[in-house]
C-alpha cells in the first residue's frame, strides 16, 4: 500500500471540522464546506484502501437498511457495497412485502425496522414535494423512537435521491472533478455547463441538475444552467445556486441555449429532466392514480420535448468547449442516439469517447456513501480512520 498517499488523506481529514455524528444527510447545502470536503477526503482514503485490497471495516454489527421507492442500479449497488465494506449487514425494505401494503404508518415502519439499524438509505424521487418530505417524516419518527426509549440509537438517514437533491451523485461528481483537475482548489474558475438534453421520455427527476448546481457553485466554479423556455428547476434551488456562487466568488447564470452554455466550458453535463410545472402536475396525477391523466400528460410532454430534439451533446457542440475537449459527465444511464434510443441526450460518438470516464465518475459513489455512513455513525471518525490505516499497513507487510 502507498502509505504516504493514504496518510496524506488522513492528515487532510483531521484538519477539517465536522459535526455529522448521528445526523442525517439530506441536502448538500445544509452542510458546511468543511463537511463536504471531509466526505471527499474520506471517500478518497477508503478508495485507496480498497484499491489495494485492504479492509475498510469499521463496524462489528448493525443493519444498513435501503428503501428504494424508484428503480436504481448504480445507487442501489453502491449502497450495498458501502454497507458490506464497513461491516454492516444490508437489509432492503420491499414495501410490497411489508405491512405498509396493509396500512402500516410511516412512523410505525420507521421504528419497527430500526431496532438494530445504524443507517437508512432512502431513494424517493417520483413525487415533487414529497420525497424529501418523506425522509424528514421518517427522521421525525426515529427521533421520537429514540426519545421514548424504543430505539437504543437513532439511525442516520442518507438521501440516495429525492425530488430536490441527489447528494451521493453530486458528491461523486465532485470527487471525480477533484481527481480530474488535481485538487478541489483547481476547480475555481472552471466553467461547468449543466444543460437540459433531449430524451424520448418525459418524467426524469429534477434532482440531478439541482444537486449539481447546488454543490458546484460552492467551489468558485462558473456554472451555466441551460434549458429551453419552460424547463426550469425548483426556484428555491436556483436561489441556493446564486447565493453559493456569490459567496464562493464563482458565477451562476441561466441561459436558454445549449451552445451558449457549452461555449468555453471545461465540463459539460447534458441531462434530460422534466419541467418543474410538469412534475407538479404529474405528482397530483400519481397521487390519485389517474392513469388516463398520466397518459395525456405524457403525450403532451413528449410532443413538447420533440420541439427541442436538437438539444443533443454532439461533436459540433463539444467543439465549442474549452480547447474543444471539455470533460463530458453523466449520472448514467444516458440516452445515447442510435444506441439506447433513436435520438437522445448524447451522440454515440461523444458518449463512446467518454464512456470510461463516466464509469470512473460513477466509481466514486460507493466510497462517498461509505464516507457518509462513517461520518454519521462514528463520534471520532479521524481516530477510526487512523486505526484502519494502521491495521492495513500491518496486513500489507
Regarding whether 125 and 175 lie in a shared domain, the answer is no
pLDDT confidence tier of residue 395, bands split at 50, 70 and 90? low
Task: Calculate the alpha carbon distances from 199 to 204, 222, 293, 317 in Å.
Answer: 9, 26, 21, 17
What nine digits make up the cell of 153? 440509537
CA dist 221 and 215 (Å) reads 10
| More confident of the two residues 394 and 172 | 172
Regarding whether 215 and 91 lie in a shared domain, the answer is no
Regarding whether 183 and 53 lie in a shared domain, the answer is no
CA dist 54 and 257 (Å) reads 47
Question: What percent of the chain lies above the pLDDT cut of 90?
Answer: 89
Is residue 174 over pLDDT 50?
A: yes
Are 177 and 142 contacting, i.e. CB atoms less than 8 angstroms apart?
A: no
Give the number of other Cβ atoms within 10 Å of residue 94's Cβ.
Answer: 11
Task: Find the mean pLDDT for residues 15-30.
Answer: 97
Per-residue b/e over 156-194, b at no fewer than 16 CB within 10 Å?
A: bbbbbbbbbbbbbbbbbbbbbbbbbbeebeebeebbbbb
Are 321 and 260 contacting, i.e. CB atoms less than 8 angstroms apart?
A: no
pLDDT number for residue 47: 97
Q: From its phi and psi, is residue 170 left (phi > 0), alpha (psi between -120 and 50) or beta? A: alpha
Regarding whether 265 and 138 lie in a shared domain, the answer is no
Is residue 101 over pLDDT 90?
A: no
Host domain of residue 307: 169-362
Task: Find the mean pLDDT for residues 253-272.
Answer: 98
Regarding whether 185 and 129 lie in a shared domain, the answer is no
pLDDT number for residue 100: 79
Regarding whether 90 and 59 lie in a shared domain, the answer is yes
CATH number of the domain residue 369 falls in: 3.40.50.1370
Give the number of other Cβ atoms within 10 Å of residue 306's Cβ.
Answer: 11
pLDDT number for residue 103: 80
Tell me the three state secondary structure of residue 182.
coil
Give the number of other Cβ atoms within 10 Å of residue 394's Cβ.
Answer: 8
Are 135 and 104 contacting, i.e. CB atoms less than 8 angstroms apart?
A: no
Using one digit for the tens of pLDDT, what is the confidence trace for 132-156?
A: 999 999 999 999 999 999 999 999 9
Predicted TM-score (pTM) of the model is: 0.96
Using one digit for the tens of pLDDT, what is the confidence trace for 313-370?
A: 999 999 999 999 999 999 999 999 999 999 999 999 999 999 999 999 999 999 999 9
pLDDT confidence tier of residue 39, bands split at 50, 70 and 90? very high
Upstream peptide bond of 158 is cis (omega within 30 degrees of 0): no
pLDDT number for residue 95: 85
Regarding whether 241 and 214 lie in a shared domain, the answer is yes
pLDDT number for residue 3: 72
Regarding whether 192 and 298 lie in a shared domain, the answer is yes
Number of domain units in the chain = 2
Regarding whether 60 and 84 lie in a shared domain, the answer is yes
Query: Residue written as cell 428504494?
Result: 68
Largest Cα–Cα distance in the chain?
A: 66
Task: Find the mean pLDDT for residues 268-290.
Answer: 91
DSSP code string of 107-119: HHHHHHT-TTEEE
Using one digit for the tens of pLDDT, what is the confidence trace for 41-90?
A: 999 999 999 999 999 999 999 999 999 999 999 999 999 999 999 999 99
What is the chain's Cα-based Rg? 21
Q: In sequence order, what are the residues at sequence separation of 6 or more whose Cβ sits closer than 8 angstroms to the Cβ of residue 182? A: none
Calculate the CA 334 to chain-centre distance: 16
Lowest mean pLDDT among 248-252, 294-298, 330-334: 294-298
Regarding whether 103 and 88 lie in a shared domain, the answer is yes
Tell me the three state secondary structure of residue 172.
helix
Task: Find the mean pLDDT for residues 6-32.
Answer: 96
Regarding whether 322 and 291 lie in a shared domain, the answer is yes
- Average pLDDT over all residues of the chain: 95
Is residue 2 over pLDDT 70?
A: no
| More confident of the two residues 5 and 348 | 348
Regarding whether 178 and 48 lie in a shared domain, the answer is no
CA atoms in the 13 A half-sphere facing the CB of 235: 3
pLDDT number for residue 393: 82
pLDDT number for residue 61: 96
* CA dihedral of 357, 359, 362, 367, whole degrees rounded to 10: -100
The CA angle 252-181-245, to the nearest 5 degrees, is: 15
Is residue 118 over pLDDT 60?
A: yes
122 closest CA partner among 25, 46, 42:
25
Lowest mean pLDDT among 39-43, 89-93, 368-372, 391-395: 391-395
pLDDT confidence tier of residue 296, bands split at 50, 70 and 90? very high
pLDDT number for residue 397: 37
Helices (H) and strands (E) in the chain, counts: 15, 9
Amino acid at each position: 500500500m502507498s502509505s504516504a498517499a493514504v496518510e496524506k488523506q488522513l492528515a487532510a481529514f483531521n484538519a477539517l471540522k465536522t459535526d455529522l455524528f448521528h445526523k442525517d444527510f439530506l441536502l448538500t447545502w445544509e452542510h458546511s464546506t468543511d463537511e463536504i470536503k471531509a466526505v471527499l477526503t474520506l471517500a478518497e482514503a477508503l478508495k485507496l484502501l480498497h484499491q489495494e485490497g485492504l479492509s475498510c471495516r469499521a463496524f462489528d454489527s448493525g443493519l444498513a437498511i435501503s428503501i428504494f421507492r424508484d428503480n436504481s442500479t448504480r445507487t442501489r449497488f453502491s449502497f450495498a457495497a458501502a454497507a458490506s465494506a464497513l461491516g454492516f449487514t444490508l437489509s432492503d425494505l420491499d414495501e410490497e412485502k411489508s405491512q405498509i401494503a396493509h396500512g402500516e404508518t410511516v412512523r410505525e415502519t420507521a421504528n419497527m425496522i430500526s431496532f438494530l439499524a445504524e443507517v437508512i438509505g432512502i431513494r424517493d424521487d417520483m413525487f415533487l414535494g414529497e420525497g424529501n418530505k418523506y425522509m424528514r417524516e421518517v427522521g421525525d419518527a426515529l427521533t421520537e423512537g429514540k426519545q421514548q426509549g424504543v430505539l437504543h440509537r437513532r439511525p442516520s438517514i442518507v438521501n440516495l435521491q429525492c425530488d430536490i437533491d441527489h447528494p451521493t451523485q453530486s458528491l461523486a461528481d465532485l470527487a471525480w472533478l477533484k481527481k480530474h483537475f488535481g485538487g478541489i482548489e483547481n476547480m475555481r474558475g472552471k466553467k461547468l455547463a449543466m444543460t437540459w438534453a433531449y430524451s424520448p421520455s418525459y418524467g426524469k427527476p429534477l434532482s440531478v441538475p439541482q444537486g449539481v448546481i447546488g454543490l458546484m457553485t460552492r467551489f468558485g466554479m462558473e456554472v451555466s444552467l441551460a434549458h429551453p423556455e419552460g424547463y426550469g428547476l425548483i426556484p428555491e434551488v436556483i436561489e441556493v445556486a446564486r447565493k453559493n456562487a456569490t459567496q464562493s466568488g464563482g458565477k451562476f447564470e441561466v441561459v436558454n441555449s445549449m451552445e451558449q452554455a457549452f461555449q468555453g466550458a471545461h465540463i459539460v453535463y447534458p441531462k434530460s429532466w422534466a419541467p418543474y410545472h410538469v412534475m407538479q402536475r404529474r405528482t397530483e396525477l400519481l397521487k390519485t392514480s389517474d392513469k388516463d391523466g398520466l397518459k395525456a400528460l405524457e403525450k403532451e410532454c413528449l410532443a413538447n420535448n420533440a420541439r427541442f430534439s436538437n438539444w443533443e451533446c454532439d461533436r459540433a457542440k463539444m467543439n465549442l468547449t474549452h480547447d474543444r475537449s471539455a470533460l463530458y459527465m453523466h449520472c448514467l444511464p444516458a440516452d445515447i442516439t442510435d444506441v439506447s434510443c433513436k435520438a437522445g441526450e448524447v451522440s454515440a460518438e461523444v458518449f463512446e469517447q467518454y464512456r470510461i470516464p463516466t464509469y470512473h465518475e460513477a466509481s466514486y459513489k460507493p466510497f462517498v456513501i461509505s464516507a457518509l455512513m462513517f461520518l454519521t455513525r462514528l463520534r471520532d471518525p479521524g481516530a477510526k480512520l487512523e486505526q484502519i490505516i494502521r491495521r492495513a499497513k500491518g496486513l500489507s507487510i
